[in-house]
Amino acid sequence: MEISAVCRPAREVGGDYYDFIRLGEGRLGVLVADVSGKGTSAAFYMAELKGLMLSLGQIYQSPKRLLMEANRILATSLDNRTFITMIYAVVDLEERTVTYVRAGHTPLIYLPANGHPPKTRVLIPDGLVVGLQLDGIEERFADLLEERTLPIAPGDLFVLFTDGITEAMNEEFDLFGEERFGRLLEEHGHLPSDALRDRILTDVEVFVGDADQHDDMTVVLLRIDDSPSGPDTDATRP
Protein backbone atom coordinates (compact mmCIF):
# COMPACT_ATOMS: atom_id res chain seq x y z
CA MET A 1 0.00 0.00 0.00
CA GLU A 2 1.22 3.45 -0.95
CA ILE A 3 0.48 6.28 1.48
CA SER A 4 1.06 10.01 1.28
CA ALA A 5 -0.17 12.57 3.81
CA VAL A 6 0.28 16.17 4.82
CA CYS A 7 -1.04 18.63 7.39
CA ARG A 8 -0.65 22.27 6.37
CA PRO A 9 -1.30 24.36 9.51
CA ALA A 10 -3.07 27.70 9.42
CA ARG A 11 -1.53 30.75 11.07
CA GLU A 12 -3.07 29.84 14.41
CA VAL A 13 -2.32 26.65 16.32
CA GLY A 14 -5.04 24.32 15.07
CA GLY A 15 -6.52 20.97 15.89
CA ASP A 16 -6.01 18.84 12.78
CA TYR A 17 -4.40 15.48 13.39
CA TYR A 18 -3.71 12.32 11.42
CA ASP A 19 -1.99 9.11 12.36
CA PHE A 20 -1.31 5.53 11.34
CA ILE A 21 -1.75 2.62 13.75
CA ARG A 22 0.00 -0.63 12.88
CA LEU A 23 -2.35 -3.42 13.95
CA GLY A 24 -0.35 -6.45 12.79
CA GLU A 25 -1.25 -9.24 10.34
CA GLY A 26 -1.38 -6.92 7.33
CA ARG A 27 -3.76 -4.44 8.98
CA LEU A 28 -3.31 -0.69 9.31
CA GLY A 29 -5.50 1.83 11.10
CA VAL A 30 -5.70 5.29 9.53
CA LEU A 31 -7.10 8.25 11.45
CA VAL A 32 -7.90 11.84 10.49
CA ALA A 33 -9.41 14.10 13.15
CA ASP A 34 -10.24 17.75 13.74
CA VAL A 35 -10.48 19.17 17.26
CA SER A 36 -12.84 22.15 17.46
CA GLY A 37 -11.31 25.49 18.36
CA LYS A 38 -7.80 26.84 18.03
CA GLY A 39 -4.83 27.60 20.21
CA THR A 40 -3.18 25.65 22.99
CA SER A 41 -6.36 23.97 24.21
CA ALA A 42 -6.95 22.36 20.79
CA ALA A 43 -3.32 21.25 20.68
CA PHE A 44 -3.63 19.77 24.18
CA TYR A 45 -6.74 17.76 23.27
CA MET A 46 -5.08 16.66 20.04
CA ALA A 47 -2.18 15.21 22.05
CA GLU A 48 -4.64 13.45 24.36
CA LEU A 49 -6.46 12.01 21.35
CA LYS A 50 -3.21 10.72 19.85
CA GLY A 51 -2.26 8.74 22.95
CA LEU A 52 -5.78 7.42 23.38
CA MET A 53 -6.17 6.20 19.80
CA LEU A 54 -2.77 4.52 19.73
CA SER A 55 -3.68 2.67 22.91
CA LEU A 56 -7.25 1.73 22.00
CA GLY A 57 -6.22 0.68 18.50
CA GLN A 58 -4.33 -2.26 19.97
CA ILE A 59 -7.39 -3.36 21.97
CA TYR A 60 -10.39 -2.91 19.68
CA GLN A 61 -10.33 -4.55 16.24
CA SER A 62 -13.62 -2.97 15.19
CA PRO A 63 -13.44 0.73 14.22
CA LYS A 64 -16.92 1.23 15.67
CA ARG A 65 -16.01 -0.29 19.02
CA LEU A 66 -12.85 1.80 19.13
CA LEU A 67 -14.69 5.08 18.53
CA MET A 68 -17.40 4.15 21.04
CA GLU A 69 -14.76 3.72 23.73
CA ALA A 70 -12.87 6.85 22.66
CA ASN A 71 -16.10 8.84 22.87
CA ARG A 72 -16.86 7.49 26.34
CA ILE A 73 -13.44 8.53 27.62
CA LEU A 74 -13.18 11.88 25.85
CA ALA A 75 -16.65 12.99 26.97
CA THR A 76 -15.30 13.01 30.52
CA SER A 77 -12.16 15.02 29.71
CA LEU A 78 -13.10 17.59 27.04
CA ASP A 79 -14.55 20.90 28.19
CA ASN A 80 -18.20 21.43 27.30
CA ARG A 81 -17.34 23.74 24.37
CA THR A 82 -15.06 21.25 22.63
CA PHE A 83 -15.81 18.31 20.36
CA ILE A 84 -13.83 16.24 17.87
CA THR A 85 -14.74 15.08 14.38
CA MET A 86 -12.88 12.10 13.00
CA ILE A 87 -12.81 9.38 10.43
CA TYR A 88 -11.09 6.08 11.15
CA ALA A 89 -10.44 3.30 8.65
CA VAL A 90 -8.80 -0.10 9.00
CA VAL A 91 -7.19 -1.43 5.83
CA ASP A 92 -6.81 -5.23 5.84
CA LEU A 93 -4.36 -6.21 3.11
CA GLU A 94 -4.85 -9.94 3.69
CA GLU A 95 -8.65 -9.90 3.58
CA ARG A 96 -8.54 -7.12 0.94
CA THR A 97 -11.06 -4.91 2.72
CA VAL A 98 -11.33 -1.45 4.24
CA THR A 99 -13.64 -0.96 7.23
CA TYR A 100 -14.43 2.59 8.28
CA VAL A 101 -16.49 4.83 10.54
CA ARG A 102 -17.14 8.56 10.50
CA ALA A 103 -17.89 10.69 13.57
CA GLY A 104 -19.30 13.95 12.21
CA HIS A 105 -16.30 14.36 9.91
CA THR A 106 -15.88 15.14 6.23
CA PRO A 107 -16.64 12.10 4.05
CA LEU A 108 -14.27 9.44 2.81
CA ILE A 109 -13.68 9.74 -0.93
CA TYR A 110 -13.16 6.53 -2.90
CA LEU A 111 -11.80 6.42 -6.45
CA PRO A 112 -12.09 2.82 -7.77
CA ALA A 113 -9.33 1.66 -10.07
CA ASN A 114 -11.79 0.10 -12.54
CA GLY A 115 -13.73 3.27 -13.32
CA HIS A 116 -13.80 4.25 -17.01
CA PRO A 117 -13.85 7.20 -16.93
CA PRO A 118 -12.63 7.64 -13.35
CA LYS A 119 -15.50 8.50 -11.00
CA THR A 120 -15.25 9.27 -7.29
CA ARG A 121 -17.67 7.90 -4.72
CA VAL A 122 -18.38 9.98 -1.62
CA LEU A 123 -18.85 7.70 1.40
CA ILE A 124 -20.83 9.25 4.26
CA PRO A 125 -21.75 6.74 6.96
CA ASP A 126 -23.80 8.10 9.86
CA GLY A 127 -22.07 9.25 13.04
CA LEU A 128 -22.11 12.00 15.67
CA VAL A 129 -19.09 14.06 16.69
CA VAL A 130 -16.98 12.74 19.57
CA GLY A 131 -17.02 14.19 23.08
CA LEU A 132 -20.48 15.71 23.44
CA GLN A 133 -21.64 15.97 27.04
CA LEU A 134 -25.41 15.46 26.95
CA ASP A 135 -27.79 13.16 28.79
CA GLY A 136 -28.04 9.81 27.02
CA ILE A 137 -25.46 10.79 24.42
CA GLU A 138 -23.30 7.68 24.88
CA GLU A 139 -26.14 5.38 23.81
CA ARG A 140 -27.18 7.69 20.98
CA PHE A 141 -23.58 7.93 19.75
CA ALA A 142 -23.37 4.12 19.61
CA ASP A 143 -26.76 3.76 17.91
CA LEU A 144 -25.96 6.26 15.16
CA LEU A 145 -22.34 5.27 14.50
CA GLU A 146 -22.35 3.27 11.26
CA GLU A 147 -19.51 0.92 10.38
CA ARG A 148 -19.10 -0.05 6.73
CA THR A 149 -16.79 -2.46 4.90
CA LEU A 150 -15.69 -2.29 1.26
CA PRO A 151 -13.67 -4.78 -0.80
CA ILE A 152 -10.47 -3.29 -2.18
CA ALA A 153 -8.54 -3.92 -5.37
CA PRO A 154 -5.11 -2.89 -6.66
CA GLY A 155 -5.13 0.73 -7.80
CA ASP A 156 -8.06 1.82 -5.63
CA LEU A 157 -7.56 5.24 -4.03
CA PHE A 158 -9.01 6.37 -0.69
CA VAL A 159 -8.84 10.01 0.40
CA LEU A 160 -9.30 11.17 4.00
CA PHE A 161 -9.23 14.91 4.64
CA THR A 162 -10.37 17.77 6.86
CA ASP A 163 -12.69 20.62 5.99
CA GLY A 164 -9.75 22.97 5.63
CA ILE A 165 -9.46 21.57 2.09
CA THR A 166 -13.06 21.84 0.93
CA GLU A 167 -13.86 25.01 2.90
CA ALA A 168 -10.78 26.92 1.72
CA MET A 169 -12.13 30.29 0.57
CA ASN A 170 -10.90 32.73 -2.05
CA GLU A 171 -11.18 36.51 -2.05
CA GLU A 172 -14.65 36.32 -3.64
CA PHE A 173 -15.78 34.15 -0.69
CA ASP A 174 -16.19 31.08 -2.90
CA LEU A 175 -15.38 27.71 -1.32
CA PHE A 176 -13.07 25.18 -2.95
CA GLY A 177 -15.84 22.63 -2.30
CA GLU A 178 -16.28 18.87 -2.48
CA GLU A 179 -17.38 18.94 -6.13
CA ARG A 180 -14.20 20.72 -7.25
CA PHE A 181 -12.14 18.40 -5.05
CA GLY A 182 -13.80 15.35 -6.62
CA ARG A 183 -13.06 16.59 -10.14
CA LEU A 184 -9.43 17.17 -9.19
CA LEU A 185 -9.16 13.57 -7.96
CA GLU A 186 -10.83 12.18 -11.07
CA GLU A 187 -8.51 14.13 -13.36
CA HIS A 188 -5.27 13.48 -11.48
CA GLY A 189 -5.94 10.33 -9.45
CA HIS A 190 -3.58 8.39 -11.73
CA LEU A 191 -0.58 10.29 -10.32
CA PRO A 192 1.70 8.70 -7.70
CA SER A 193 0.33 9.48 -4.25
CA ASP A 194 3.04 12.00 -3.33
CA ALA A 195 2.57 13.87 -6.62
CA LEU A 196 -1.21 13.84 -6.14
CA ARG A 197 -0.80 15.19 -2.61
CA ASP A 198 1.28 18.09 -3.91
CA ARG A 199 -1.18 18.72 -6.75
CA ILE A 200 -4.06 19.00 -4.25
CA LEU A 201 -2.20 21.56 -2.14
CA THR A 202 -1.14 23.54 -5.20
CA ASP A 203 -4.66 23.67 -6.63
CA VAL A 204 -6.10 24.82 -3.30
CA GLU A 205 -3.41 27.49 -2.92
CA VAL A 206 -4.00 28.79 -6.46
CA PHE A 207 -7.74 28.86 -5.81
CA VAL A 208 -7.54 30.87 -2.57
CA GLY A 209 -4.92 33.30 -3.90
CA ASP A 210 -4.13 35.99 -1.32
CA ALA A 211 -7.12 35.28 0.92
CA ASP A 212 -6.24 34.49 4.54
CA GLN A 213 -6.90 30.93 5.65
CA HIS A 214 -7.93 30.21 9.22
CA ASP A 215 -8.14 26.42 9.19
CA ASP A 216 -5.57 23.66 8.88
CA MET A 217 -5.54 21.61 5.67
CA THR A 218 -4.98 17.89 6.05
CA VAL A 219 -5.18 15.14 3.45
CA VAL A 220 -4.24 11.45 3.58
CA LEU A 221 -4.05 9.37 0.40
CA LEU A 222 -4.15 5.57 0.47
CA ARG A 223 -3.50 3.67 -2.75
CA ILE A 224 -3.94 -0.07 -2.72
CA ASP A 225 -1.35 -2.22 -4.48
CA ASP A 226 -0.69 -5.95 -4.89
CA SER A 227 1.56 -6.17 -1.84
CA PRO A 228 0.25 -8.03 1.25
CA SER A 229 2.91 -6.33 3.37
CA GLY A 230 2.89 -3.06 5.30
CA PRO A 231 2.62 0.36 3.70
CA ASP A 232 5.20 2.62 2.18
CA THR A 233 4.61 6.11 3.51
CA ASP A 234 5.47 9.61 2.41
CA ALA A 235 3.83 11.59 5.17
CA THR A 236 4.53 15.17 6.13
CA ARG A 237 3.46 16.38 9.56
CA PRO A 238 3.59 20.02 10.63
d(CA 203, CA 198): 9
Is residue 164 exposed (0-12), middle (13-18) or buried (19+ Cβ within 10 Å)?
Answer: buried
- pLDDT tens digits for range 136-195: 889 999 999 999 999 999 999 999 999 999 999 999 999 999 999 999 999 999 999 999
CB 30 within 8 A of CB 88: yes
pLDDT level of residue 44 (50, 70, 90 thresholds): confident
**pLDDT value for 238:** 45
**pLDDT value for 215:** 86
d(CA 6, CA 197): 8
> How does strand 2-8 pair with strand 232-236?
parallel
pLDDT level of residue 230 (50, 70, 90 thresholds): low
Percentage of the chain surpassing pLDDT 70?
A: 93
CA 126 to chain CA centroid, nearest Å: 15
What pTM was estimated for this model as a whole?
0.91
Element (H, E) at 193: helix 193-208
Report whether pLDDT(212) > 60: yes
Q: What is the residue extent of each domain of the chain?
A: 2-236
pLDDT level of residue 233 (50, 70, 90 thresholds): low
CATH superfamily of this structure's domain 2-236: PPM-type phosphatase domain (3.60.40.10)
